[in-house]
């Protein structure tokens, strides 16, 4: 294996699914400017996710409507005149 290609700054990071507020902690080197305090009283870096396995239709078996940033409205405003 090649040396010095993997990051050295792994630490525990909280990942939060913004569609259903599901959080999980795992080691990561993902950069984050936000922090969160969990039930254990420790403060961790926070990485916000649009979707995780708790909200993805493939894993849940339920189709959910997720419009995180008004994407549908943006699409209709941009291409609405072509849809008529």
| 53 vs 51, higher pLDDT | 51
Mean pLDDT of 59-72: 62
Q: Are 47 and 14 in contact (CB under 8 A)?
A: yes
Mean pLDDT of 31-35: 92
pLDDT of residue 34: 94
Mean pLDDT, the chain, rounded, equals: 81
Global pTM? 0.63
Mean pLDDT of 19-23: 86
Buried b (16+ CB within 10 A) or exposed e, 21-33: eebeeeebeeeee
Mean pLDDT of 55-83: 68
Domains of the chain, residue spans? 11-82
Q: Are 47 and 32 in contact (CB under 8 A)?
A: yes
């Amino acid at each position: 294996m090649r040396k010095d290609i993997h990051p050295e700054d792994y630490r525990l990071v909280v990942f939060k699914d913004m569609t259903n507020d599901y959080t999980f902690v795992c080691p990561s080197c993902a950069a984050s400017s936000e922090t969160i305090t969990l039930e254990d009283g420790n403060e961790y870096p926070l990485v916000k996710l649009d979707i995780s396995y708790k909200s993805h239709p493939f894993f849940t078996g339920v189709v959910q409507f997720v419009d995180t940033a008004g994407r549908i409205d943006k699409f209709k405003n941009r291409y609405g005149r072509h849809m008529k």
